[in-house]
Amino acid sequence: MFMEHRTGLEDRYVLKNNKRLRCGYTTGTCAAAAAKAAALMLFLKKDIPEVELVVPEGTRLHLAVEEICRRPEEVSCAVRKDGGDDPDVTHGLLIFARVKKTETDGVQITGGRGVGTVTKKGLWQPVGEAAINRVPREMITRALEEVCEELEQPCRLAVEISAPGGEEIALRTFNPRLGITGGISILGTSGIVVPMSEEALVASIRLEMEMKRAAGRDYLLITPGNYGEDFLREGMQIDTADSMKCSNYVGETLDMAVELGVRGILFVAHIGKFIKVSGGIMNTHSRAADCRAELMAAQALRAGADAGTAMRILDTITTEEALDILEEKNLTEKTMKEILPRIRYYMQHRCGGALQTEAVIFSNQHGYLGETEGAGELLEKFRVKE
């Protein structure tokens, strides 16, 4: 009798229009699980049909292992991507890991067929590296280190992650525009894919804000996503337990805050998101608007950049790359002095001055970039009292 494979996500779903939408798991989870299975088979010299993996947000998954190929010196296998009920172009794609022993200490991670290569500055990985993001790399490394520790083996392993078919799939993503060529990116921060429509996501933001208001919170600390949360924790030593996320919905977040009587919001945001806010764009998703280079160039001109510098900024793909040019010309601080008041102006315009709106802006490569006039005052409200 056929038995459906149970992954550990059977009870994980979201509700939309009274329908249950299944959660899934990321390409990063697939890569780490396949790498762990391959390492186990390499050391144990036997097939393993299922592998257990704890993802960053804490869920313990049991994932089926496919396409096993064992050789004396290396093992290759795959885990199939399951995006749940999220519309995901990588759903069903096999993510392979090929693991072999080396003479070098630690875990070396490379990308193979179907995994893109970074060709532009400003992303998490350096130019020339495989487009395997930071958290998936950490997951793969941790999984292999745990295998070596459990089996009392030296941790000297090389793993190649591949995704046959990824070249074609990547053409339906933003990878070509971001300067990632030849395949997909291996992504994921929590390890889990949560299916959500725009409407459902905005509703979830509202629900969290209502809960904080009910708990007596007059001031809110908000980040668009995980990058902002990481910067709060690592760059500003702020406890993120009481922060919330607004995704791309800056305008809707401000609208809800006014309605619910919030007195002030401090956004901690990556420049790539909030450069758009400096132009009055309140939905920062790239499908809504993408004029990052144009806004960066405009503010650089106001800060004293010459036309040639502005043209170079207009040719950039990422804000990190634009910041490199500003750094080269010693214009970063002056340009931020043009950007920050405009961010504050448009947030105040959206909320009609009904609450205090401030922002701290950072970049992945350059760290802290600046803050609006009253950000320091709001920041003190969120510092952990010793």
**Spans in the chain with pLDDT lower than 70:** 1-5, 15-18, 121-123, 177, 196-200, 237, 239-241, 384-386
pLDDT digits (tens, 9 = 90+) for 40-82: 999 999 999 999 999 998 899 999 999 999 998 999 999 999 9
3-state SS of 67-81 is: EEEECCCEEEEEEEC
Tell me the β-bridge partners of 101. Answer: 157
Is the CB of residue 98 less than 8 Å from the CB of residue 39?
no
Parallel, antiparallel or unpaired: strands 192-193 and 114-115:
unpaired
> Which pLDDT does position 3 carry in this prediction?
36
The domain defined by 13-189 folds into CbiD-like (3.30.2110)
Phi and psi at residue 173, to the nearest 5°: -115, -175
Helices (H), the chain: 27-44, 134-151, 166-170, 175-178, 198-214, 226-235, 250-259, 271-277, 292-302, 307-314, 319-328, 332-351, 375-380
Domain residue spans in the chain?
13-189, 198-380
